[in-house]
Amino acid sequence: MTRSKTPEDTRARILETAERMFAEHGVFSVSNRQISDEAGLGNNTAVSYHFGSKAELVRAIYLRHSEPVERMREKAVAEHAGSTELRDWLACVVLPYTHHLASLGSNSWYARFVVQLMTEPKLRELDLVDMGQTPLQHTITDELHRCLPGLTPEVLAERDEMARALIVHMCARREQNLPENSTDIWDVVATGLIDALAGLYLAPASR
């Protein structure tokens, strides 16, 4: 691999390499030295120089993706403003994420990286990301809940957690088996998720 010519090039190469290695092997199974070697930087301290700690590297990877997702989310909320249809607000939950994954092409790693942010105890303890906590996400959740007046706040909170887990894990599974040179699968994944989530939220709640 050729050496990066600018600090921006080096940062981008580190982010891309770290995201792939974290997705394949786990965040805590990969050292900064290994990332530098795999990125072909020829400097074992490059990751620490550009990002400081591993926690900040993980945060940088997340923000690199979350910002375009948030822009898509903003458009979705504007499109469905005033709707009282549950599926419209489920679309606001699902489509920004699946559309972003589709934009990454057939050789993507981000969905498998996000699974670790949700499930790895050490990452959750570090509070590296506020998944589901942006103002727009709060707006979507509030509108979604208004479509379900028969459920208690406790049941709604439980189903929100179930929904997040289903989205993250299903997308990671699909990404791992993504057909080469084809991202059309994400439209199918999104439709299936919205159908499943509608059933989840509309299911009766037992006492």
- Residue 1: pLDDT band (50, 70, 90) is very low
Contact criterion met (CB below 8 Å) for 92 and 80: yes
Task: Decide if 155 is inside a domain.
Answer: yes
Asked if 118 and 164 touch (Cβ cutoff 8 Å), the reply is yes
Domain count of the fold of the chain? 2
Q: In the prediction, which pLDDT does 124 show?
A: 66
3-state secondary structure 182-207: CCCHHHHHHHHHHHHHHHHHHCCCCC
Give the whole-angstrom CA distance, residue 122 versus residue 53: 14
Asked if 99 and 153 sit in the same domain, the reply is yes
* Average confidence score pLDDT of the chain: 89
Residues 6+ apart with CB under 8 A from 193: 94, 98, 166, 167, 170
- What pLDDT was estimated at residue 5? 62
87 and 15 together in one domain: no
pTM of the model: 0.89
Looking at the fold, whether 73 and 164 belong to one and the same domain comes out as: yes
Tell me, what amino acid is at 200?
A: L
Lowest mean pLDDT among 18-27, 104-113, 175-184: 175-184
User: Which domain, by its residues, includes 26?
Assistant: 1-52
